[in-house]
Chains A and B, each alone.
Chain A
Amino acid sequence: MSFDINDYYFKLNSGDVLLAYKSSITSDLISNVLEVVEAKLDDLSEQAKVRKKVYNVLVESLQNLFHHNDELPDKLHDSFDPKFGVLVVSRVENNIYRISTGNFINSSKIKFLKDKIDKINSLSEEELKDMYKFILNHQKLSAKGGGGLGLVDIARKTGNKLEYSFDNYNNEYYFFNMEVIVS
C-alpha cells in the first residue's frame, strides 16, 4: 500500500500544535507562517534564545521545501497542489519544539539526500562548524538561491540529529519527512 499522507498529517497533528499546514509552499506562505509562529512564540514568552532558534530553523525548513520540492507528475496533480509540502510546528514542552516537514521526492534523489543527512548526523559540533564554513566559502549559490547550507545550519543551531524517513508513494515518488527538535 502506498504512503497515506492524510494519516501521516493526522498523526503529526497531535499534542500542542502551534501551526499545521499542508498545501503549496510559496513565498507568501512562508511570510505568513513566519509571522504567525513569531507572534505565537512571543505570546508563550519562551526564552529569547529558543524563540530565535525556532525561527531560524523554521526559515531554513520552509526554504528547503520551497527550493527542493520536486514537480509532481501529472497524475498526482489532481490530488495535490503544486509545490505541495507539509509543515507542522508543535511544542513538546517548555522551551522545546518539534518542527516536521514533508514533501515528495523523486526516487532518483533519495540516495544523495540520505547520504547528506547521514553525514551531517555523524559529525560533531566542531566538524559541523567546519563543514558549514567550507560550503559557505567554496560552493556557489544555485540560480534559485539555495546554497546547500540549510540542513547543516539546522543541525548546527539545534545541536540535535535530523530524524527522517522516506516512504514509498508510487514507483517513482517517495514522501520525504524530516523532524527536528529545537531546544
Chain B
Amino acid sequence: MEAITFEGTAKTPTVKFDSANGVFEIKGRSIPENSIEFYKPLVDWLDEYAKGPRDLTQVNVQLEYFNTSSSKCILDVFKKLETIHKGKNEVIINWYYEEDDEDMLEAGEDYESIIRVPFKMIEIVE
C-alpha cells in the first residue's frame, strides 16, 4: 500500500506513515479547530495497514503543541496501533518532548497509561 504523507502547516503536523518500512512519523503542531477532518484519513489508512502490518511498526511522535481537539484523534490513532500490537505484531511509540517540557512528557504518560503499547519517552536535548 501507498505511504500517506501530509506537509505540515501552522496548525497541522507533518505526517509520514510508510508501510514499506513500518516507520510512522507525526511532527510539528497539531492545533486545528476541527481535528477530525485532519485525522480521519490517517485512521482510515491505519485500518488498511492493520490488515497486513510489518513485524515491527515504529511510531515517532514529536509534537511541539497539540490542542485538546487533537488529543482525542491522537488517541484514536494510538488505539489502531494497539489493535496491531494485540495481533502479535510489534509496535513501539517513541514520544519525543523538548527539554523541560513537563506538560508534553506528562501528555505522553497519559497516553501510555491508557494504551497498551510500549512507549519510549525521549527527551530532545538542544
| Interface residues, chain A, with chain B CB atoms under 8 Å away | 27, 30-31, 34-35, 48-49, 52-53, 55-56, 59-60, 63, 66-67, 129, 132-133, 136-137, 139-141, 144-147, 149-150, 152-153, 157
Contacts and interface: CB of A to CB of B under 8 A. Distances in A.
Among B35, B69, B75, B98, max chain A CB count under 10 A is at B69
Contacts of B11: 31
A54 B71 CA distance: 18
Contacts of B50: none
16 contacts: A27-B33, A34-B10, A49-B102, A52-B103, A53-B103, A56-B65, A56-B103, A66-B33, A139-B72, A140-B72, A141-B35, A144-B33, A145-B32, A145-B33, A147-B68, A150-B68
Contact of A59 (B31, B101, B106): B31
Contacts, number: 74
A31 B67 CA distance: 13
Contacts of B69: 63, 141, 145-147
B67 A59 contact: yes
A141 B72 contact: yes
A133 B101 CA distance: 19
B110 A55 contact: no
The 10 closest A-B pairs by CB, nearest first: A145-B34, A149-B68, A145-B69, A153-B68, A147-B72, A59-B67, A141-B72, A59-B31, A147-B68, A150-B68
Interface residues of B, number: 26
Contacts of A48: 98, 100-101
A141 B65 contact: no
A129 to B, nearest CB: 7
A31 B10 contact: yes
Contacts of A141: 35-36, 69, 72-73
B114 interface: yes
B100 A49 contact: yes
